[in-house]
A and B are shown apart, each in its own frame.
Chain A
C-alpha cells in the first residue's frame, strides 16, 4: 500500500539549532512531493514542493528539501530555526497525474526561545 512515513512525531529544538525532518514514501513511480506547515490554530500552508528538475528545492522562510530518489526520501531542512517555526509539518506525496495526495502523520516542532 502507498504510504508516507515521517519518522519524528515530536521534535524540540532551541533557537538557532539546525533542523532536519525525515520523510520517506513507498511509491515506485514518478512522484510529486510536498511539505506543508500548519502553525498553531491555522490551516495548512505550502512550504515547498518538488515536481521535477533540481532535487534540492528551496521554499519559504529559509526551508529547503532534498529529493533522493534512490532512498525514496524528501527530507526537510533549515540551517537555523526560529521560535516562529513552532508548528506541525506534513510531508505529502502524490503519484504523477494521480489525484490523491497522501499525507504523513505530521511532525510537531517546538522551538524553545
Chain B
C-alpha cells in the first residue's frame, strides 16, 4: 500500500459524458501527478499540481482538466468522453515539486461505451 488513494476503482460511462476522478496523496506529500495508461499509448503523464498550483503539463487533452484543493487532494475531470479515453488513470504523489520518487495509487479504470 503506497498511501495514495484513488476513487472510484472502476467507472463505466457513455460517450459524451463527464466524469471526475479523485486522488488523495500520501500524508505530507505536496505534489500530485496524473497519468493515463492505455495499451497503445503506454503510460502518459498528464499533469502535475504542487501545493495547489499547476506545476507541469504533459499530454493532457483540452477536454481534461484537473485541480488540487487546499487539503491537497486532487480531482481529474474528463469531459465529452470518447471511446478512446477508456484507460487506467493513475495518480501519484511526491513530497516536493522538484522531481524525486513518486508513489502511485491503485488507479481508476475508466470504460467509455
Query: Interface of A with B (CB < 8 Å)?
Result: 32, 34, 36, 42-46, 49, 51, 90, 94-106
CB nearest neighbor in A for B50: A99
A50 to chain B, nearest CB (A): 11
Contact A45 B2 (CB under 8 A): yes
Residues in chain B near residue A102, CB distance under 8 A: 45
Residues in chain A near residue B16, CB distance under 8 A: none
Contact B105 A101 (CB under 8 A): no
Show 18 A/B contacts (Cβ-Cβ < 8 Å), sorted by A: A43-B90, A43-B105, A43-B107, A44-B43, A44-B92, A46-B102, A98-B56, A99-B31, A99-B48, A99-B56, A99-B98, A100-B48, A101-B102, A103-B35, A103-B45, A105-B43, A106-B42, A106-B43
B6 to chain A, nearest CB (A): 9
A39 to chain B, nearest CB (A): 12
A-B CB contacts (within 8 Å), total count: 58
Residues in chain B near residue A46, CB distance under 8 A: 101-103
Is B104's CB within 8 Å of the partner chain A? yes
Is B8's CB within 8 Å of the partner chain A? no
Please measure, in the bound complex, the distance between the C-alpha atom of A71 and the C-alpha atom of B48, giving whole angstroms. Answer: 30
CB nearest neighbor in A for B31: A99
Contact B48 A44 (CB under 8 A): no
Please measure, in the bound complex, the distance between the C-alpha atom of A32 and the C-alpha atom of B42, giving whole angstroms. Answer: 21
> A43-B2, A100-B48, A103-B45 given. 4 additional CB < 8 A pairs?
A43-B106, A46-B101, A94-B99, A96-B98
Contact B99 A101 (CB under 8 A): yes
A62 to chain B, nearest CB (A): 20
Residues in chain A near residue B45, CB distance under 8 A: 100-103
Please measure, in the bound complex, the distance between the C-alpha atom of A102 and the C-alpha atom of B31, giving whole angstroms. Answer: 16
Please measure, in the bound complex, the distance between the C-alpha atom of A101 and the C-alpha atom of B97, giving whole angstroms. Answer: 11
B33 to chain A, nearest CB (A): 8
CB nearest neighbor in B for A34: B101
